[in-house]
Amino acid sequence: MLIQIETSSDIPIYTQLSNQLIELIARDQLKGGDVLPSVRSLASDLGVNMHTVNKSYHELERKGIIRIVPKSGAVINPSIRDGISQEHRLRIVEELKPIIAEAIVLGMNAEDIQQLASSILSDMKEE
């Protein structure tokens, strides 16, 4: 599992970790039912505090992407690709809306935004 933390980034480390785990799942490099490394193990491998990994895992659990099973660890939700719930769809819309608004404010039009989204999707399928 290749995860790289940029300590000089403005993005919090736990968010970087969450985003990279989500991307690994999107790229099918991690699948539903896979067990994630223990908090202690991943923190040690990445050279970060255990609380940072724990915060990331709980963020992923809140989003329904993983399940934290006491004494077993963090497991990627086996039904992760079975279809999106209304709750998750609403959350994604709320998270995307400000990003799309920012893109418009900075000069992108609808076609530019659609091309960018297509390019990102294509990139995730190729790697």
DSSP the chain: ------TTSSS-HHHHHHHHHHHHHHTTSS-TTPBPPPHHHHHHHHT--HHHHHHHHHHHHHTTSEEEETTTEEEE-TTTTS---HHHHHHHHHHHHHHHHHHHHTT--HHHHHHHHHHHHHHHHH-
| Beta carbons within 10 angstroms of residue 78's beta carbon | 12
In the 8-state DSSP scheme, what is residue 30?
S
Is the Cβ–Cβ distance between 37 and 30 less than 8 Å?
no
pLDDT one-digit tens code per residue, 50-105: 999 999 999 999 999 999 988 888 999 988 888 888 999 999 999 999 999 999 99
Q: What is the mean pLDDT of residues 21-29?
A: 93
* Burial classification of residue 50, based on how many CB atoms lie within 10 Å of its CB (0-12 exposed, 13-18 middle, 19 or more buried): middle
% residues pLDDT > 90 (the chain) = 81
Whole-angstrom distance, CA of residue 65 vs CA of residue 32:
9
Residues β-bridged to residue 66: 76
Global confidence as pTM: 0.85
